[in-house]
Structure 1
Amino acid sequence: MSKRPIFLVTGADLAPQALALLTDFDMVYAGKTPSEDDVVRLCQQHDPVGIIVRYSKVGKQAMDAAPSLRVISKHGSGTDTIDKQAAEERGIRVVAAVGANAAAVAEQALALMLACAKSVVQLDQRMRAGHWDKATHKNVELEGRTVGVVGLGAIGLRFAKVADAMGMRVLGFDPYAKELPAFVQRADWSAILSESDVISLHCPLTNENAHLLNASTLAECKSGVLIVNTARGGLIDEQALLDAVKSGQVGAAGLDSFAIEPMVHPHRFHAEPRIVLSPHIGGITADAYVKMGVASAHNALQVLKA
Structure 2
Amino acid sequence: MKIQTSMVRTARVAATVTVTALTLGAGSAWAQAAWPTKPVRIIVPYTPGGSSDIIARAIQPMLSEALKQPIIIDNKPGASGNLGADAVAKSNDDHTLLMCDVTALAISPSLYTKLSFNPSKDLKGVAMLAYSPHMLVVHPSVPANNLKELVALSKTTKIDFAVTAMGSAPHLAGFAVAAATGAKWEYIPYKGGSQAVTDTIAGQTQVLMNGMLATLPFVQSGKLKVLGVSKATRVPLLPNVPTIAEQGAPGFESGTWQGILAPASLPPAAVNKLSAELIRIIRSPDLRARLAAQGAEVSTMNPTEFNTFFAKERQNWAGVVAKSGIKLD
TM-score (norm 1): 0.30
Higher relative contact order (CA 8 A, sep 6+): 2
TM-score (norm 2): 0.29
Q: Which has the larger radius of gyration?
A: 2
